[in-house]
Amino acid sequence: MRNEFCAAIANVMSESTTTFFLTGDLGFNALEGIQQLAGSRFINAGVAEQSMIGIAAGIASCGNDAFVYSIAPFATFRCIEQIRIDVCIHDLPVYIVGNGGGYGYGIMGATHHAIEDIGCMSTLYNMTCWIPAFADDVRYCIDSMRAERKPAYLRLGMGRPRPAASVCGPASPVTLASDPKVTVVTLGPIIANVLDALERVGSDVPADVFSVIRIPLDEADIARIAASVEASGRLIVVEEHVARGGLSEYLIARLHDMGLDGFRCSRLCAAGYPNKLYGSQRYHQAQSGLDADRIAAALRRTQ
Amino acid sequence: MPRTLSQQQRHIRQKLLRLYYGASCGHIACSLSCIDIVQAAYSWKAASEEFILSKGHAAGAMYVVLNALGRISDEQLTSFYKDGTKLAAHPSAGTSRDIPFALGSLGHGLPIATGIAYGKNHVGLADRTFVLMSDGETNEGTTWEAAHFAVRNSLSGLFVIIDKNGLQGFGRTSDVLGDTADPAVWRAMGFRVIEGDGHNEAFLKSFMDETRPDADGRPTVLIANTVKGCGVPYMEDKLEWHYLPMNKELFDDAMTYLEESGHAE
């Protein structure tokens, strides 16, 4: 999604003279074009994520908005207090961009993974998390963040093109079955594995699939998911994030708040590093049971 | 030998002591060490210039100064430390035009001020942006991140003021991490360094009123030498008065001292 992100940002920086872009010394082979066109509105803040957030907040307090870019763990965990106070408490339009959410940086190792980021960021006051799933979600997310002019976190990953007949939205229904036996709700790009799994199970398991790309969700989005769960009686949540603090806890709590219970539920989440070994993103997904085969097995168990 | 304070300095201190005694709370000595700087800042900076109290635990000094200047009402000041107040022990976000930021976790004010200085510089404004830090606060890593950023980006509008009283939360600064407010260190980073007496009203007025951004593009740091607890002899240079509230006897003693020390002028 980095290409889509860079294209969208180049557009924004050209259109708006009050938008700034800060990077924590990252962006080789990606941000050079933005650097060229934005002049002094492009800032390499150095390997200094904490002050980068504070500087972005100061810039935003002058009536601007600011994107702040780094690898997901460095853009979030490293500077969470600065995000909490300098950005969120002041409700400033600072948009934190974390590249390589989940196990996205694969063999780079655990230091470069972000599998607890949504748990951290979604609890912050005034914060909205955006987790684009498909390539064209990126521009939708950026447009939405800028329209809201509030603190936001954008978690970028690897997104494939959107399937035909679905549209961008906070909790977009990607496929809907006439008589669903299961409702699958995904967080971000892991939906690619879910769609692969659905191909494997074919028509044996009629499923509704919702692609969640925003936390929190509004009432209407939750109600649509709730109606599906009520019809299917079975919910599977799939996310490349630890179970604690992720989409599954959030969604189940919201459904429960609506009075919906009595449905069966499975949560497929990031397991961390169960064998203490490291590899590609696909390796870690498989270790967590997030690969297409394991998701297909979970779907078959719904029968 | 206690220093001689002006009537204004004694009166603002009495106001501060009444505030803290009324609330039975601490953070008195660290407010007394910077209260003359805060007074000078709000009295002499231009209205469009920001002053950020990064050492947010000295909020009381800011509240009484703004009250003395008619920018916080008596009624609002009376709410200090009480349920439902905007005047918490540390500044809250959006309290007023003079207090836009929530501060109190150390090391946040300088990056924010640096960002403001960058934003103003970007649109060609000549405003200065002031940020007051404690010397202990300069332990924080963000100090060094933002300071290098300010130098590299020639943010001559950034004016850092360090309240250098030599004491921090649990020891002398010289014993904890050494002197992170050492003028030589700041000079070596590329700052224009000014040193002076942080309780000398004439010096502080001239700094706030007359010091323009450096023609060579360097950000400025004022290393203000101060005494923690300045104006109350039993608090001066005493770590414990970072934390302790006054009982009635000590409050009366301090108020009487401030009253009578003026008679010797």
Distance of alpha carbon A106 from alpha carbon A58, whole angstroms: 34
Residue of B nearest to A50 (CA): B142
> Chain B closest CA to A66's CA: distance in Å?
11
Q: Does the pLDDT value for residue B2 go beyond 80? A: no
pLDDT in tens, A210-254: 999 999 999 999 999 999 999 999 999 999 999 999 999 999 999
Domains along chain A?
Answer: 2-156 (3.40.50.970), 171-300 (3.40.50.920)
Mean pLDDT of chain B: 96
Q: Does the pLDDT value for residue A23 go beyond 80? A: yes
Confirm or reject contact between B124 and chain A (CB < 8 A).
no
The confidence score (pLDDT) of residue B41 equals 98
pLDDT in tens, B180-226: 999 999 999 999 999 999 999 999 999 999 999 999 999 999 999 99
Mean pLDDT of chain A: 96
* CB-closest option in B112, B117, B145 to A48: B145
Q: Does the pLDDT value for residue A302 go beyond 90? A: no
pLDDT (mean) for A166-180: 95
Return the residue in A20, A53, A55 with the most chain B beta carbons within 10 A, the one to mutate for interface testing: A55
Confirm or reject contact between B127 and chain A (CB < 8 A).
no
Q: Does the pLDDT value for residue B263 go beyond 90? A: no
CA B218 vs CA A40, B99, B134, B158, B213: distances in Å = 18, 27, 21, 9, 8
pLDDT (mean) for A142-167: 95
pLDDT in tens, A77-100: 999 999 999 999 999 999 999 999
CA A195 vs CA A185, A241, A295, A301, B8: distances in Å = 11, 18, 10, 17, 74
Confirm or reject contact between A135 and chain B (CB < 8 A).
no
pLDDT (mean) for B66-93: 96
Residue of B nearest to A19 (CA): B119
Label residue B237 exposed, middle or buried (CB < 10 Å: 0-12, 13-18, 19+).
middle
Confirm or reject contact between B125 and chain A (CB < 8 A).
no
The confidence score (pLDDT) of residue A204 equals 87
The confidence score (pLDDT) of residue B264 equals 53
pLDDT (mean) for B121-138: 97
Distance of alpha carbon A215 from alpha carbon A25, whole angstroms: 28
- ipTM score above 0.90: yes
CA A20 vs CA A56, A80, A303, B195: distances in Å = 8, 20, 52, 35
Q: Does the pLDDT value for residue A303 go beyond 70? A: no
Q: Does the pLDDT value for residue B1 go beyond 80? A: no
pLDDT in tens, A90-128: 999 999 999 999 999 999 999 999 999 999 999 999 999
Residue A184, SS3 per DSSP: strand
What count of other Cβ atoms lies within 10 Å of the Cβ of residue B141?
A: 11
Tell me the domain boundaries of chain B. 7-261
CA A166 from centre of chain: 18
Q: Could you tell me what percent of chain B has a pLDDT over 70?
A: 98
Q: Which fold has domain B7-261?
A: Rossmann fold (3.40.50)
Residue of A nearest to B122 (CA): A40
Cβ–Cβ under 8 Å, residues A51 and A4: no
Q: Does the pLDDT value for residue B265 go beyond 70? A: no
Tokens of B10: 């004694």
Cβ neighbours of A58 in B, within 8 Å = 111-119
Q: Crossing angle for the helix pair B109-122 and B141-152, nearest 10 degrees?
A: 20
> Chain B closest CA to A251's CA: distance in Å?
31
Cβ–Cβ under 8 Å, residues A206 and A180: yes
The confidence score (pLDDT) of residue B247 equals 98
pLDDT band at B242 (very low <50, low <70, confident <90, very high): very high
The confidence score (pLDDT) of residue A16 equals 96
